[in-house]
Amino acid sequence: MSTPQIPPQITDSHCHLDFPDFDGELPEILARAAEAGVSRMVTICTRLRNEPAVRALAEAHAPVFYAAGTHPMSAAEEPMASVEQLVALAQHPKFVGIGETGLDYHYTGDSAEVQKQSLSIHIEAAQETGLPLIIHARAADEDMARILSEAHARKEYSCVMHCFSSSAELGRAALDLGFYLSMSGIAAFPKSQELRDIFATAPLDRILLETDSPYLAPPPYRGKRNEPAFTAHTARVGAEVFGLDYAEFAAQTQANFDRLFWKAAQYEAVA
């Protein structure tokens, strides 16, 4: 009888396991992730009042790490975070990133000034902690590039453009700062060739994988609830984009994740 092949290990660098879409199903979700080779997940808290529940998820499940911040679309309705608050949260051993934060003018352009204020606070927390900033950017490319660049000139920090689907110009600006671009299910959509072309011009050592689940499921699950196991489908498309075999691409994205999310890599090393 043949031994089942163990798939190459990959990481879902951005998901939302605390969302109600997953209620009561987390053990099954994590089991399917493991079966697909998804050995780690970073679950993202988007409203700081939910941080205790998200932290509890990370504490209860070995493969799960977490990050926290105020999502730009919620910036106007949530209490403004403080640098001190974010730095204090970052002391937890499984807290590995600051955010998600950023700018979203597509739906919430009327709160642009509040979003910018919130973003600046998160950047300062990333600068102070050395943890990567997790950026959500939509319909705000010019302001996004300017704010990230100006802050980086004042004091360096690391960053991932989560679920990257912005312009080539913003992608280049981020890469020029040493930042990372994360491939989500959007990169696997048939009509996303232009986005795949942007990724293809990026350095291979600056690419991460994510689901943003429960949203943006890649084919063949498009339109259904996304989950961490589906990272593997995006990874297969990524391997094609870079002309690599799956195992080689998976290994490279693991090395990239370990470099950027150094605290998760160190936690594993001592766990």
Domain membership of residue 172 (yes or no) is yes
Domain membership of residue 144 (yes or no) is yes
Domain membership of residue 3 (yes or no) is no
**How many structural domains does the chain have?**
1
Measured distance between the N- and C-terminal CA atoms of the chain, rounded to whole angstroms: 34
Domain membership of residue 113 (yes or no) is yes
Residue with tokens 């996304």: 226
pLDDT tens digits, 99-150: 999 999 999 999 999 999 999 999 999 999 999 999 999 999 999 999 999 9
Please state, in angstroms and rounded to a whole number, the distance separating the CA atoms of residues 200 and 17: 30
Domain membership of residue 37 (yes or no) is yes
CB contact at 8 A, 125 and 87: yes
Domain membership of residue 238 (yes or no) is yes
Could you tell me the residue range of the domain that residue 242 belongs to?
10-270
**Residue among 113, 170, 173 nearest 137 (CA):** 170
Domain membership of residue 2 (yes or no) is no
Domain membership of residue 194 (yes or no) is yes
Residue 269: per-residue pLDDT: 74
- Under-70 pLDDT residues of the chain: 1-4, 271
DSSP 36-92: TTEEEEEEEESSGGGHHHHHHHHHH-TTEEEEE---GGGTTTSPPP-HHHHHHHTTS
Q: pTM (2 decimals)?
A: 0.97
**What does each C-alpha distance from 249 to 60, 162, 243, 245 come to in angstroms?**
30, 18, 9, 6
Burial of 224 (0-12, 13-18, 19+ CB in 10 A): exposed
- The domain that contains 137 carries what CATH number? 3.20.20.140
